[in-house]
Chains A and B, each alone.
Chain A
Amino acid sequence: GENVEQHPSTLSVQEGDSAVIKCTYSDSASNYFPWYKQELGKGPQLIIDIRSNVGEKKDQRIAVTLNKTAKHFSLHITETQPEDSAVYFCAARDDKIIFGKGTRLHILP
């Protein structure tokens, strides 16, 4: 079955700098890759997703890239702000969705 690895588990960046979170997946049949942001005491919120027929997608300060050959995808957050501090989860889906273990992002003032 599918296995999703997410790195790093914790990431600290200076406010205004960029943050990159990387995920790899094992099942080449996976064709949908969402990213979720989870704030303390809340449920995960979908922030961006990408399907296997595109290599990159951007939404304001957030972008996701997908390399199907290498089976990895990444989340890029530019011009980070304090409200970006949260736990971020990647996921990959073929017949069911498998989540990575999350990255705790700290934005330093």
Chain B
Amino acid sequence: DGGITQSPKYLFRKEGQNVTLSCEQNLNHDAMYWYRQDPGQGLRLIYYSQIVNDFQKGDIAEGYSVSREKKESFPLTVTSAQKNPTAFYLCASSIDGTHNQPQHFGDGTRLSIL
């Protein structure tokens, strides 16, 4: 059963701590994306990757980092430099990064500050 798996579902961060959110897909998709969702807001792009070992900043990359060492994995690290990290984080993938391919989403990770 193909899909996108995000873990954990809930995550708590202490002040000054880095945390890493996991995203794995078995859809054999080349492109992967990370979005942040705040209440009443649309999805804002943090980072995206169109191919292994390559990624680009999105609209709100400050305070975040990513890696793409494997096609199926695209972990997101929320660093201590991100001053307002409380949000719902969504990972997505698409067949490739071309303009008219749909993105498929995981069920998200909710990050909160302790």
Contact = CB atoms under 8 A, between A and B. Distances in A.
A99 B43 contact: yes
A51 B45 contact: no
Interface residues of A, number: 26
Interface string A29-58: 001101010000111111001010000000
Contacts, number: 53
B29 interface: no
B99 A32 contact: yes
A54 to B, nearest CB: 12
A101 B41 CA distance: 5
Q: What band does the interface of chain B fall in when counting residues whose beta carbon is under 8 Å from A?
A: 20 to 34
A43 B103 CA distance: 11
Interface in B28-86: 40-43, 45, 48, 58
Interface string B76-114: 000000000000001010000001111111111000000
Contact of B105 (A44, A93, A94): A44
Interface of A: 4, 6, 9, 31-32, 34, 36, 41-46, 49, 51, 89, 93-102
Interface of B: 4, 6, 40-43, 45, 48, 58, 90, 92, 99-108
